[in-house]
Amino acid sequence: MKSLNFDNRDEWLFARRGKITGSRLKDLIVKRGDGKKIGFFEVIAERLSTDPEGLAFYETPMERGTRLEPEAMARFEEDSKLEVDKSLVLWVREENEGIALSPDGFIGDKVAVECKCLSSARHIEAYIKKFIWKLSDVESIPAEYYEQVVQYFVVNDKLKTLHMVYYDPRVVFQDYFYLTIKRKDVEEDAKKYLEYEIQTIKELDEIVNKISNF
């Protein structure tokens, strides 16, 4: 073992980048299965991504998404040659308005666009799964966003295609790409989620009514 000495905390923090440290180990070790946890992609992101605007330290994920979404959508329109309606709308199911979703963009009622301006680790995770490991588009979605993808098809029975746009200018080797999800890819889960949501809303309504009548 060798010990590295530093004169200040900034140098120490920089030296830790791209390394497996004790505090990161819990986000790397997989106890079941053979998948990769987020720490694996964080190490890659630290080695490959940059933060040229210096915003990462004080910008929240929501602020970042709001700031970069127009750029992401513009890249998609240029790349796909599609004209996307970016109106601020809320989609709801006709028979149950408690089941809803706000699309980032849409083309009629059969095509939707969702922009993801994520952490560099999540961006790289989706890229590696799709283009390095050659998984399907739906398998390449970071797990925490799968339900959001399915919800598009739960809310809109006419929806055939969802384009998921990934954009992160810090990832200079591949700052933009998109995945295409078809209804058939998630149809079984969409049916199950719809049943679950209908039952959940029924339970919520019953509880609210009881409390309101106290």
What DSSP line would sit under 132-173, residue for residue?
IS---TTTTS-GGGHHHHHHHHHH-TT--EEEEEEE-TT-TT
Check whether 181 has a pLDDT greater than 90. yes
pTM equals 0.82
Which long-range contacts does 63-71 make (Cβ < 8 Å, 24+ apart)? 64/117, 65/115, 65/116, 65/117, 67/117, 68/115, 68/117, 68/167, 68/168, 68/169, 69/104, 69/115, 69/117, 71/167, 71/169
CATH 3.10.450.40 fits 61-212, yes or no: no
47-93 residue pLDDT tens: 777 774 445 556 777 888 889 999 999 999 999 999 999 998 999 98
**Mind listing the pLDDT tens digit for each residue in 143-157?**
889 999 999 999 999
Q: What 3-state class would DSSP assign to 93?
A: strand
- What SS3 class is residue 183? helix
Looking at residue 160, its pLDDT comes to 97
Rounded Cα distance, 115 and 175, in Å:
13
Q: In this predicted structure, what is the pLDDT of residue 103?
A: 92
> Residue 35 above 80 pLDDT?
no
The residues that bridge with 105 in the sheet, in sequence order, are 113
Q: Of the candidates 125, 115, 113, which has an alpha carbon nearest to the alpha carbon of residue 174?
A: 125
Whether 17 shows a pLDDT value over 70: the answer reads no
List the domain boundaries for the chain: 61-212
Nearest CA to 181 out of 137, 125, 129 is that of 137
